[in-house]
Chain A
Amino acid sequence: MTDATTGTGLPIAAARRGAGGSGPVLGVLFLLAGWELAGRLLTEAFVLAAPSEVALYLVRDWQLMLRALGVTLGNAATGFVIGNVAAVALAGIALLWPRSERVITGLGLLVFCLPLVATGPILRVFFGPGPGPQIALAALAVYYTTLIPLLVGLRAAPDSWFDLVRSYGRGPVSALVHVRAMAALPYLFTGLQIAAPAAFLGAMVGEFTGAERGMGVLTVRAIRALDVEMTWGLATVATAVAILAYVGIGALARRVLLEAPPVILAAPAVATGRRLGGWIDTGLVILLALGGWAGAIWAFGLNPFFAKGPGDVFDALVVAPDAAATRATIGAALTESAVYLIPGYIAGLLAGAALAILLILVPAVASTAMPLAIALRSVPIVTTAPLIVLLLGRGAVGTIFLVAVMVFFPSFVACLQGLRQAPGQVMAVFDSYAAGPFTRLVRVRIPAMLPAFFAAARMAVPASVLALTVAEWLATGSGIGSLMALSASLSDYDMLWSSVVLVSALSALGYVLVGAVERRVLAIYAPEQLA
């Protein structure tokens, strides 16, 4: 779930409260007990290993696991650094040249929406053997989640602080050093905190694509061999690493920062096309994306057999004699995927919001569930996707459930944070009329929750596509994820590149559409977010 960034930061105050209480410990114990019970009941089904069996496996094969973990961690760390440096550099360009911000975020979104399932094999052909694809995918998984909070953070200082700097005759450099950089730090940490587990996930997905060593390689091997203990052992280690990375960066943030990293609900900066400038920016993004794509193929002198440019994709989809067949195949696969994606996405969002609302009415339970949910949000669910599908079957239920789970945690965490942000003074007014909890919920808390809900919904679009395509690739063998994997293995690169283009474009479109709905809602319920 690492990539399902809602952009919402960890509430340090909540984590501090949670750290002192026994709530999270109880929650984890409860979870383990349920898992153990289910594992024992399902021993014959070969889908679920109980925690005790996983622990035994990890003790027995710790050397293998440690070696693989070392490799994956190394790749993830390299990708983490590269991706975040790129994010900082892009944010710097956007700051120096504000006109470029919408184009940078637009291009960033398009690249972020590339389906890792397909970019993995393409990068594998490009880089050949070695850690290249793993590092590249780790970098791709993190740069956007750092870029967006950073852009918000660099503008998060009030005008009067800049007036102060100017009143002493100092320019933009002093403002950057003394005001912007410091004001952006909490936002940077928010991004890094989400990026750390995402980098690990990216490296693992990169390893799925034919690496020699690493956790991803072992995962694929374990799934193919139906080695249930090993599969769950790997998922457990991946989860532990992701949670530790999340908590570790959170702890570092607490040491460095004075207060909690902010909850970032930045409205999408991507052009929604309402104004002429928006249309021009959108056109520019598309032109730059196509130019960069063709330019990269030309600059690296890539073999035209596998490296298909925009012209090739246009040919394959429109001009070629079999264009209609290609379109029909991709269309059918996309439809097949959409049937799982859309219900899963909506169910996950609504379930997250509903549970958050339910919990806010029972505050004692909320304080237990919150830290647990924040930790679970960083679980690399994609690596456990095959397991969930194994558990629930290859049919609709398993896949829809997987997508829903992917969307559920970010939605739940964001909504709970949003519900808690209900303005105290407004609540006091309702208290003064002795309004009941339900009235306060409907009139104050839910409207206050909406910005967080929509931020989660927007960021969940690419995340849910990732979850679905990985599940289709590794487990169900249907839909667009499977088509892309199949095309890669059959060297049908026209089909592969065409699918990549359509999936990315549709993901980005989904993101922009949710963003447009979000802006409409925020204009009513939280106009300050759009300022």
Chain B
Amino acid sequence: MNIVVLVKQVPDTESLVQIAADGKSIKKDDIKWVMNPYDELAVEEALRIKEAKGGSVTVVSVGPQKAQETLRTALAMGADKGVHVNDPAAEGGDPLATAKILAAAVKGLPYDLIICGQRAVDEDNYQVGAAVAEFLGIPHISIVAKAEVLDGRIRCHRSIEGGTVVVEAPLPALFTTQRGLNEPRYASLPGIMKAKKKPIEVKTIADLGLDPATVGAAGRKVVIQALRLPPERKAVRMIPGDTPAAAAEELVRILHTEAKLI
């Protein structure tokens, strides 16, 4: 099994995300960058499949120089090699533009299975996986909490509202991760040492034969006009009460007569 995992570097979920001077992007300097949590699940799942079935795990990322840290993390977890598309022309794309680059990068690799996150917790787009699969002409299954590789097929437990559907697709296929799939391992110290020697191939948009006008910021179809802070809530109204029962009754009274929610 040759497995490709798509990994993205995103701001740590604890980070304070601030709007940059242009009003349309975020300040990138003071942020701690990490591997997208859903991509950790993807790397872990790929390693487990490789451990069971043999083969290779290649991790692919589109991003600036810094994004190589995320590839190194995946290599330290146990992936075999990395592909880093590092080109200013690749930056600032919307999911479709990024998926075009990823599909082109994956096309040059041997693959039976592609795994990626259901969403990157930066722009929360939930899109790139399906788009990569479409551009490669292979089936995809999204939001997968359990995956089994069968003979030439993949069987996935896909989480939907109110339950799970079990979906099968012939390989090659792509699936996207859901929490519950596994518990990602931490990179061990020997793993980190070994990762330093593992290869990362660096590619440009030209290397991939793509027209720079169709990718990155230039290829964006979804244009951010403005970023703003979410509307603020009014200050919390603390409900007093001599006893829990009194506070409870007052809360219900407010929700009933004032907020009209009960």
Q: Do A and B bind each other?
A: no
The interface of chain B, by Cβ under 8 A from chain A, is: none
The interface of chain A, by Cβ under 8 A from chain B, is: none
